[in-house]
A and B are shown apart, each in its own frame.
Chain A
Amino acid sequence: MELVVFVFAAAMILVGGLGVVLRSHPVHAALSLILTLFGVAVIFVSQEAHFLAAVQVIVYAGAIVVLFLFVIMLLGVDRTEDIKTEPFKVQRPLAIIVGLGVIGLVTAAVITSRDVVATRGAGIAEPAMTDPDSNIRQLSRSVFGDYVVAFEVTSVLLVVAVVGTVLLTRKVKPASKESQ
């Protein structure tokens, strides 16, 4: 059963990922990204990370992809990129070599450290199956307890990003300057 779920979710993820890279229209790429994100959410459910799966669907598919589509349609970049021509002859084979190298090296590392991963850790004190809320409780304990400093620093980072966006996109109007 878990195998069937894994195979279907992996197919969704890989088809979506290839669609993001290969589809020349940005809207199609965004829709392929939704497919990938739903596949990741399915795998989260099968790994008993139910809260993360819900957050994945709400935040990624509901907010981030919609934001992407807004930007595509507001900025008017929804024209088909000519994917056949490449500006540099070397770029595409080099990129494929780098990608295959990343995949190969990480896969080799995972397979060689198979028995390290197989050692079981201390274990969850309250398994997710007996207590449906334990998922959320553990997450909130580690986010607001052990790692609260990192959490707050992340929020500072977000504020910096918002302020930077406002500063960078502000246009100084010369007419309003003269009137002052």
Chain B
Amino acid sequence: MSALIAAATPTTTWYLVLAAVLFGIGTVGVLVRRNPLVMFMCIELMLNAVNLSFVALAKRLGDMVARPRCSS
């Protein structure tokens, strides 16, 4: 069990899925909440999800700019 845990290192796909889930939560918040300030907070959630995916791709592709398939 501990060997299994040690073997499972999070790949870029995990980070991208986490970013997708956070973006979805933000989307639901913007659509559901009625207080405009809380809607702004949900937009912040979506922005942070996109930042998360940018950083994950930048780490994986070894390129700060993180353009998939364009630089190579």
| CB pair B9 A99 closer than 8 Å | no
Let me know if B8 is at the binding interface, CB within 8 A: yes
User: A162 at the A/B interface (Cβ < 8 Å)?
Assistant: no
Residues of B within 8 A of A40 (CB): 48, 51-52
- A77–B24 touching, CB < 8 Å: no
Q: Give the total number of A-B pairs whose CB atoms are below 8 A apart.
A: 159
Establish whether residues B31 and A95, one from each chain, have CB atoms under 8 Å apart when the complex forms. Answer: yes
Is the CB of A68 closer than 8 A to any CB of chain B? yes
Question: Would you call A92 and B45 a contact (CB within 8 A)?
Answer: no
Dominant secondary structure at the B interface = helix
- B43-68: CB near A (< 8 Å → 1, else 0) gives 01100100110011111111111001
Whether A26 touches B37, Cβ cut-off 8 Å, given contacts A17-B25, A121-B63, A139-B64, is: yes
With contacts A60-B48, A95-B27, A117-B60 known, what are 15 further pairs, Cβ within 8 A?
A14-B22, A26-B38, A47-B15, A47-B59, A52-B51, A68-B40, A72-B37, A96-B28, A99-B25, A102-B24, A106-B16, A110-B20, A117-B57, A120-B61, A121-B60
B57 partner residues in chain A, CB cutoff 8 A? 117
Cβ contact within 8 Å between A124 and B20: no
Contact of B22 with A17 in the complex, beta carbons under 8 Å: yes
Contacts known (A20-B38, A72-B37); A47 close to B55, Cβ less than 8 A: yes
Q: A interface, how many residues as a size bin?
A: 35 or more
Decide: A102 and B27 in contact? CB cutoff 8 A: yes
Q: Which residues of A contact B14 (CB under 8 A)?
A: 6
Q: Which of A13, A87, A122 has the most chain B CB atoms closer than 10 A to its own CB?
A: A13
Is the Cβ of B17 less than 8 Å from the Cβ of A36? Answer: no
Assess whether A43 is in contact with B23, with CB atoms less than 8 Å apart.
no
Can you give 28 A-B contacts (C-beta < 8 A)?
A: A3-B8, A6-B10, A6-B15, A14-B22, A14-B25, A17-B26, A20-B25, A21-B29, A30-B41, A43-B55, A47-B55, A47-B56, A49-B59, A56-B51, A60-B48, A64-B44, A72-B37, A95-B31, A99-B27, A103-B23, A107-B21, A110-B16, A110-B17, A116-B68, A118-B60, A120-B61, A121-B60, A123-B63
